[in-house]
Amino acid sequence: MKLELGKIHVTDVKFDGHARIENQVLYVNKEELRRLVLEDERFAKADIKLAKPGESKRIIPVKDVVEPRVKAEGSGGVFPGLVGPSTTVGSGRTNALKNTAVVTVGGIVGFQEGVIDMSGPGAKHSPFSETLNIVVIADPKEGLEKHAHETAVRIAGLKVAARIGELAKEVKPDGVETYEVEVNPQGSKLPRVVYVPQVLA
């Protein structure tokens, strides 16, 4: 199995009616992304904001941080089972927008939510104070159960990251890393193992 990860470096992010990547600048269409989020009927309203390193901004409460990606070559897609169908991934080429993140926020469950300070003494405590952040604010319809809201927000973040990632499908990467592994090679006596970690960061 061979996977190539194309790294596309982004130096700035701006709102524009025409979404694109040009001269290492990511232009996103705010209204298009809002409409994408609001396709989920569990949301009453949504907004998209930008937060860049050094700005006097605090992002709270953070639910997820997702790097925009796209499957540039090969079968499958990104975020299988959530945005696209559940298919085998790990081969072909994926393009990733480096130095960029989709951050989802909202009053969701409570105690485990995070904080990102884009400047000041708090900035050193999060690596995401150094990324160009597209912040998705998604407010639930009245009466929506908190964990259902949390699930909806997570999927909204993945959908937005996948949509932004599509802009990078035809962009030539600044660098490519290759990962290659033999899957169940002939004569191997190693057991087949599935590892499912619980990650909280």
**Per-residue pLDDT reduced to its tens digit, 109-133:** 666 668 999 999 999 999 999 999 9
Position 133 scores a pLDDT of 98
Residue 146 has a pLDDT of: 86
Dihedral of CA atoms 184, 195, 95, 8 in degrees, nearest 10, equals -120
Percentage of the residues of the chain whose pLDDT score is greater than 90: 69
pTM of the entire predicted model? 0.87
**Cα–Cα distance, 33 to 47 (Å, whole number):** 8
Using 50, 70 and 90 to split pLDDT, how confident is the model at 185?
A: low
CA distance 109 to 148: 10
| 3 state DSSP class of 3 | strand
- Residue 113: count other Cβ atoms within 10 Å of its Cβ: 15
Q: What is the mean pLDDT of residues 45-53?
A: 97
Q: Which residue has the tokens 């995401």?
A: 128
8 A C-beta contact, residue 162 and residue 78: yes
